[in-house]
């Protein structure tokens, strides 16, 4: 154990220790001053963010190469910390308004975030599994956070049962991989494959099982069944955090494991992943059309977005396009995180107690009464569709380009067609806001408004100057392990 070990893992450790301390501190904060816990959590996130920024451009491995620090993990750490900050900003007023202002919310969220960051840094299958559990278990608790509301409890239980089922798949896949290669560390697996000592068929089964487990986490069809119910039942502040964070972490692990450890399996796996991507895009977008509840609609939309991200993943075994695929996946993750947080923020602003104010028809008349919120929501809907002038368009352009360069033109065509299809339900929200009359009631909360405004601004501004972000994503490479 050296200093370098700790340095490699510093962001995760800072956050974990802070979360433990926060859990204790919160016990002694009076219930009227619950806001203090949120502020302390934000301070912790900012400190961790500082640590991560100071690690920019560094590369190191620690704990016998179980943990890596590279451009990829640094990029994701910063993205996930941003997710945490936005998650607290939208939850702050919402939890109070819904009567679920419990101090545990923030430490639990920090624990989950630590798991997500560990996922981006793990380079050992057991570490990946620990990270998976560390990110999932707090999310199960958060989904049921609005107890005694039955919908929330149902969401928590459903997520828990299906989530542990999918963890089983990952674990079984890890066991198979170990059986095939005799190693759990990614460098060891790579070495065994290079030596030819690995049992290919067993390895393929292992990789496929890991794919199934993470497909569940990122809500890819046909493993998406839990998504609408859990997203709808969980408190909206949790849904926003879960949709962005869990997806980013799931893709982080998928990208690292498959790109680094399993590139030789791409002949067999690429057809499977491309079918998954196509199915996810089609299914998410088509079913979203039929939704009348905005939370369910955004849940199906998040499934569809997972499909677009999978598209970048399809060509992972082709060294010529690998770098650009990973970069465009990362870029799209940023675009999705910012946009979806904004959209969920508007949903939170309109939501009232007892799950009222969540129908798409409740958005009628927004344009007149709340021009600022309506304009922001329009930006988010355009971005999710992939229309200019938004980040969603740029992200999709990069993704489609990566797919075409990888030789998956059919997939790119499916992506474009389903994007057109998605315009129908995204723009329906816009039509409701501007062309129908109604009298919506909105909660004005400083931090919520700030989040919505800032994300809308970022969505537009970053679309005008995307080059810097994309260049940064292109620098986010995997460390070469020996």
Partner 1 sequence: MLLEYAAIGIMILVVSLIGLIAIGLGTIFGPKRQTDRKAAPYESGMTPIGPGIRRVPVRFYLIAVLFILFDIEVVFFLPWAIAFRQLGLFGLAEMLIFIAILLVGYIYAWKKGALEWE
Nearer to partner 1, 22 or 393 (CB): 22
CB distance 186 to 222 below 8 Å: no
Nearest to 304 by CA among 286, 287, 290, 285: 285
| Beta carbons within 8 Å of 21's beta carbon, 6+ residues apart | none
Contact string 263-282 vs partner 1 (x = CB under 8 A): --------------------
**Residues 18 to 57 in contact with partner 1, rule: CB under 8 A:** 20, 23-24, 27
Nearer to partner 1, 16 or 385 (CB): 16
Nearer to partner 1, 1 or 467 (CB): 1
Binds partner 1 (CB under 8 A): choice among 1, 30, 467, 480: 1
Nearer to partner 1, 177 or 459 (CB): 177
Nearer to partner 1, 37 or 459 (CB): 37
Report the nearest approach of partner 1 to the CB of residue 48 (Å). 18
Q: In the beta sheet, which residues pair with residue 426? A: none
CB distance 259 to 273 below 8 Å: no
3-state DSSP assignment of residue 149: coil
* Burial class of residue 369, CB neighbours in 10 A (0-12, 13-18, 19+): middle
The size of the interface with partner 1 (CB under 8 A), counted in residues, is: 5
Report the nearest approach of partner 1 to the CB of residue 27 (Å). 4
Report the nearest approach of partner 1 to the CB of residue 180 (Å). 13
Give the β-pairing of 60-62 and 67-69: antiparallel
Nearest to 278 by CA among 442, 417, 452: 417
d(CA 302, CA 247): 9
Contact string 2-21 vs partner 1 (x = CB under 8 A): ------------------x-
Contact string 192-231 vs partner 1 (x = CB under 8 A): ----------------------------------------
Nearer to partner 1, 24 or 480 (CB): 24
Nearest to 245 by CA among 56, 416, 45: 45
| Residue listed under structure tokens 């060509």 | 315
Nearest to 451 by CA among 371, 340, 367: 340
Nearer to partner 1, 192 or 257 (CB): 192
Tokens of 100: 């679920």
Nearer to partner 1, 107 or 284 (CB): 107
Report the nearest approach of partner 1 to the CB of residue 127 (Å). 16
3-state DSSP assignment of residue 461: helix
Report the nearest approach of partner 1 to the CB of residue 20 (Å). 5
Report the nearest approach of partner 1 to the CB of residue 94 (Å). 24
The answer to whether 175 contacts partner 1 (rule: CB under 8 A) is no
Nearer to partner 1, 137 or 462 (CB): 137
d(CA 338, CA 154): 28
Report the nearest approach of partner 1 to the CB of residue 6 (Å). 12
Report the nearest approach of partner 1 to the CB of residue 28 (Å). 8
d(CA 386, CA 416): 9
Residue 61 DSSP one-character state: E
Report the nearest approach of partner 1 to the CB of residue 189 (Å). 21
CB distance 106 to 22 below 8 Å: yes
Report the nearest approach of partner 1 to the CB of residue 1 (Å). 6
Nearer to partner 1, 111 or 478 (CB): 111
d(CA 338, CA 133): 25
**Residues 62 to 81 in contact with partner 1, rule: CB under 8 A:** none
Applying CB under 8 A, the residues found at the interface with partner 1 are: 1, 20, 23-24, 27
């Amino acid at each position: 154990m050296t200093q370098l070990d700790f340095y490699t893992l510093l962001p995760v450790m800072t956050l974990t220790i802070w979360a433990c301390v926060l859990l204790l501190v919160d016990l002694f904060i009076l219930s009227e001053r619950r806001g203090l816990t949120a502020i302390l959590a934000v301070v912790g996130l900012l400190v961790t963010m500082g640590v991560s920024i100071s690690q920019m451009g560094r590369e190191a491995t620690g704990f016998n190469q179980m943990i890596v620090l590279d451009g990829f993990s640094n990029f994701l750490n910063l993205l996930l910390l941003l997710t945490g900050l936005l998650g607290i900003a939208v939850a702050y007023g919402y939890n109070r308004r819904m009567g679920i202002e419990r101090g545990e919310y923030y430490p639990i969220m920090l624990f989950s975030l630590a798991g997500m960051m560990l996922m981006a840094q793990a380079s050992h299958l057991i570490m990946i599994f620990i990270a998976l559990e560390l990110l999932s278990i707090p999310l199960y608790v958060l989904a049921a956070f609005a107890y005694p509301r039955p919908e929330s409890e149902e969401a928590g239980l459903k997520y828990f049962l299906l989530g542990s089922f999918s963890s089983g798949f990952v674990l079984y896949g890890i066991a198979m991989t170990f059986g095939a290669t005799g190693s759990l560390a990614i460098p060891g697996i790579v070495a065994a494959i290079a030596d030819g000592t690995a049992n290919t068929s067993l390895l393929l089964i292992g990789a496929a099982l890991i794919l199934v487990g993470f497909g569940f986490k990122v809500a890819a069809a046909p493993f998406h069944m839990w998504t609408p119910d859990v997203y709808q039942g969980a408190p909206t502040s949790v849904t926003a955090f879960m949709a962005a964070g869990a997806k980013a972490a799931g893709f982080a692990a998928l990208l690292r494991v498959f790109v680094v450890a399993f590139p030789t399996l791409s002949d067999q796996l690429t057809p499977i992943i491309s079918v998954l991507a196509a199915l996810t895009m089609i299914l998410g977008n088509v079913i979203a059309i039929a939704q009348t509840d905005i939370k369910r609609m955004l849940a199906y939309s998040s499934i569809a977005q997972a499909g677009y991200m999978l598209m970048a993943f399809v060509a992972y075994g082709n060294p010529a396009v690998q770098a650009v695929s990973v970069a465009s996946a990362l870029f799209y993750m940023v675009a999705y995180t910012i946009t979806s947080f904004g959209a969920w923020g508007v949903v939170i602003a309109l939501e009232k107690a007892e799950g009222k104010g969540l129908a798409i028809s409740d958005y009628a008349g927004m344009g007149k009464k709340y021009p600022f919120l309506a304009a922001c929501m329009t930006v988010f809907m355009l971005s999710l569709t992939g229309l200019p002038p938004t980040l969603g368009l740029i992200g999709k352009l990069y993704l489609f380009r990566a797919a075409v360069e990888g030789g998956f033109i059919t997939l790119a065509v499916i992506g474009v067609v389903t994007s057109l299809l998605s315009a129908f339900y995204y723009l329906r929200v816009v039509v409701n806001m501007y062309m129908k009359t109604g009298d919506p009631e909105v909660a004005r909360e400083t931090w919520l408004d700030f989040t919505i405004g800032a994300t809308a601004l970022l969505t537009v501004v970053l679309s005008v100057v995307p080059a810097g972000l994309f260049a940064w994503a292109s620098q986010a490479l995997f460390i070469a392990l020996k």
